[in-house]
Amino acid sequence: MSLLRTENITMKFGGVVAVSNLNVRLEKNEIIGLIGPNGAGKTTAFNMISGVYKPTSGKVLFGDKDITGMKPSAITKLGVARTFQNIRLFKELSVLENVVIANHLRLQSNWISSVVRTPDYSRKEKSMYDKSMALLEKVGLADLKDEKSYSLPYGKQRRLEIARALATDPGILLLDEPAAGMNPQESDDLMHFIARIRDEFDLSILMIEHHMQVVMGICERIYVLDYGITIAEGNPYEIQNNPRVIEAYLGVDE
């Protein structure tokens, strides 16, 4: 059984079909890509998987559990975390605080214990900070823990957003254009970083990406969307040499 799969998920906005009958499967410890030209429906697909949108039809399955239309917070608690195309950090908070906030998803306490600050709550709070610092060490941001997140260079903001997602203890990580805005060296560094965290955190990763260097260098399988329709699926070599994919990206001379 696939760790995550979609069964003919479709999203309509009025008379516009943004995604049509999308079938994606993600296996344990895989890194797969979802690519396509601008407006192909990639982020809409992510939004259906992560609960931002409820599909017009079709199902999203996490193992054998139907998560179609569940709230994003409930899906995150099950173990599906995501990042966004436009980085969504708490800009005025420190690097450490951004990661600590994500740990609250797993915090077992009530508002009374947090106000009174019982010994049990204090222990759990310290554990959250320790875990957050350990994550920052692993992503190379520990020395910046007290910096405001908005002050970080773009590539490190991306790493921080991924660290915050990792703080929710996911089994699946959805990355929406993690290399957007990066130069070739930053993209190469990110590619190796993603491969490393997949192994260290025992993750399965589904990513949207426009940087073909990253997609072809890291993804084991790739799905290609065009105008909301899946036009190809295969390994990087098969996708690079698929005439329909070439036509979708480059067009054809009539």
| Residues with pLDDT less than 50, the chain | 111, 254
| 193 CB-side CA count, 13 A | 20
Other CB atoms closer than 10 Å to residue 47's CB: what's the count? Answer: 21
**Domain segments of the chain as ranges:** 4-250
Distance CA 55, CA 80 (A): 17
Closest C-alpha to 132, from 157, 82, 169: 169
Confidence (pTM):
0.88
β-strand 229-234 against 4-13: which pairing, if any?
unpaired
| 111 CB-side CA count, 13 A | 0
Q: Please tell me the predicted confidence (pLDDT) of residue 122.
A: 64
Q: Please tell me the predicted confidence (pLDDT) of residue 254.
A: 47
Question: What topology is assigned to 4-250 in CATH?
Answer: Rossmann fold (3.40.50)
